[in-house]
Amino acid sequence: MKVFTGSSNPTLAKKLAQTLKVPFGKVKLSRFSNGEARVWIQDKHPHEAAVIVQSLAPQPDQSLVEFTLIIDALKRFGVKKVIAVMPYLGYSKQDKVFRPGEPLSAKVIVQMLQTAAFDQLITFDLHNQAIVGFFNQPIIQLSAQSLFLNHFAQLKTQDTLIVAPDAGSAKSSAQLAQKLGLEVVYIDKARDLVSGKVSIKGISRSVKGKQLIIMDDMIVTGGTLIKAAEFLKKKGAVQIFVGATHHLYVPGTQAKISASPIDQLIVSDTIQAPKQYNKLKIISVAPLLAAAIKKL
């Protein structure tokens, strides 16, 4: 077995190869003069199996093309089994048609992914579980929650509460709270579908003097999260820790988070960080991936 990668997350791919104790494959990525992607597997001999690591971020469209071309190249090279590791599945927030005239983007992307001849696909913490049903073959969905659970277990005090930032995270927040032996605070908010602006109406209980932990599946612009942190700070919270499986590193987002009342942001490495940031801690999913791959 060898581990290969596109341009989106070589750091995680190398960690995975080290964890699995297998070689790291050589892929040359370049562009033709007309801008089209060019892929070349530069290994001398094909292996029985290959793992391709590629997240659909920070450049989802480019990453998608690389992903399909690398898999095709591996198969034509003679690799019999391709395990596709897509730590972050792009377009997953577009999991429904919000307004007439819009596409069901998440389903379209899944259909495009399946044109690649992978034998197994592994991903992490999908934004909506309905996306699993868009695939016409079984996939493996892992969760990074155990990594955050261990981290937050070391942080918690007798004054710690779990915050559910919206209705969509209520169930996962309650599960995290149960595992940590903590109570949950629910934020009541509303989003305007046209403007995208979020307004916070209130919270389910007092947070005065409390240490708060907010867990979400992804950080995009961070606007809603920062607004929630500011609201909670005004209500008397003394510390705010945030965890998220996926951080998309939208330009300017981390700078805003660093300047916000959030004390620390803990994320996984499903998407590669462009650089080091203040207040940011990164936990690797490589051990979880390695354990799952060894079972295949």
Which residues are tagged catalytic?
Answer: 189
What is the tally of helices (H) and strands (E) in the chain? 8, 14
Sheet strand arrangement including 183-191: 198-203, 183-191, 160-164, 211-219, 239-247, 264-268, 280-283
DSSP 279: T
DSSP state of 7: S
Look up tokens 């389910």; give the residue.
204
Contacts of 263 (CB under 8 A, 6+ apart): 239, 240, 241, 279
* Largest distance between two CA atoms of the chain: 63
CA gap 113, 134 in Å, rounded? 11
**Cβ contact 184:174 at 8 Å:** yes
How far apart are alpha carbons 71 and 127 in whole angstroms? 25
3-class secondary structure per residue, 54-105: CCCCCCHHHHHHHHHHHHHHHHHHCCCEEEEEECCCCCCCCCCCCCCCCCCH
**CA 145 to centroid of chain Cα atoms:** 11
Are the beta carbons of 232 and 240 closer than 8 angstroms? yes
Nearest to 294 by CA among 32, 16, 13: 16
